[in-house]
């Protein structure tokens, strides 16, 4: 039986000041997911968003997106696809590069990971500026699935990351700061 409320999860997330650099407050979700009841609440609430949407694949973005993404795939009874940094996947890949505040980064998927029959949820733990998610979305879109959804556990609304995500895609986040 789940007795914890969704909003109570915020109280379990640790704020780490000046990480990874001065002036940044890092939202550390590991302190939430180490709590069994909180993990169940998070899992249940994320899955409820997508239970009736015919999702066939969940893509988790490296590395913290692997945690919630694999849980979501399990809850929905569908496949899990890792979106990785370059050189981490063992077979033929497709990739997308994107600008970050301190350079360029790249994300890759196996070229056979998504088909035109798939309904996909792309998951990451946290929405900040949206650059990584937008690159992953563009990559998945190039594979022509039936539908794409975007999901986060936490959204930092002051950074306006949604402005960098496609307007034609449903974006959900469980917790907003």
- Assign 3-class secondary structure to 16-79: EECCCCCCCEEEECHHHHCCHHHHHHHHHHHHHHHCCCCCCEEEEECCCHHHHHHHHHHHHCCE
CATH class of the 54-176 domain in this structure: alpha beta
Q: What does the pLDDT read at residue 1?
A: 56
pTM for this prediction: 0.95
Q: Which two tokens stand for residue 73?
A: 């795939």
Q: Which residues of the chain have pLDDT under 50?
A: none
The domain limits of the chain are 54-176
CA 112 to chain centre: 20
Closest CA to 154 of 123, 125, 130, 132: 125
Report phi then psi at 144, rounded to 5.
60, 50
Q: What does the pLDDT read at residue 120?
A: 98
pLDDT tens for each residue of 118-160: 999 999 999 999 999 999 999 999 999 999 999 999 999 999 9
Q: What does the pLDDT read at residue 101?
A: 67
Report phi then psi at 66, rounded to 5.
-65, -35
The C-alpha atoms of residue 125 and residue 69 are separated, in whole angstroms, by 9
CA 170 to chain centre: 13
User: Among this protein's residues, is 101 annotated catalytic?
Assistant: yes
Q: Which residues fall within 8 angstroms of residue 11, CB to CB, at 6 or more apart?
A: none
User: Among this protein's residues, is 64 annotated catalytic?
Assistant: yes
Q: What does the pLDDT read at residue 2?
A: 61
Catalytic residue among 5, 7, 101, 167: 101
Catalytic residue among 40, 62, 64, 75: 64
């Amino acid at each position: 039986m789940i007795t914890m409320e969704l909003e109570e999860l915020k109280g379990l997330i640790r704020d780490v000041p000046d990480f990874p650099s001065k002036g940044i407050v890092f939202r550390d979700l590991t302190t939430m997911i180490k709590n069994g009841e909180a993990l169940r609440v998070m899992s249940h609430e994320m899955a409820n968003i997508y239970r009736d949407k015919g999702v066939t694949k969940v893509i988790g973005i490296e590395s913290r997106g692997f945690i919630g993404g694999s849980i979501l795939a399990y809850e929905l009874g569908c496949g899990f696809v890792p979106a990785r940094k370059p050189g981490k996947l063992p077979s033929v890949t497709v990739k997308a590069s994107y600008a970050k505040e301190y350079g360029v980064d790249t994300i890759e998927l196996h070229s056979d990971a998504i088909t035109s029959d798939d309904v996909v949820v792309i998951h990451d733990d946290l929405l900040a500026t949206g650059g990584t998610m937008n690159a992953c979305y563009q990559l998945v879109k190039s594979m022509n699935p039936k539908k794409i959804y975007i999901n986060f556990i936490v959204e930092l609304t002051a950074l306006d990351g949604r402005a960098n995500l496609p307007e034609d895609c449903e974006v959900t986040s469980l917790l907003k700061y």
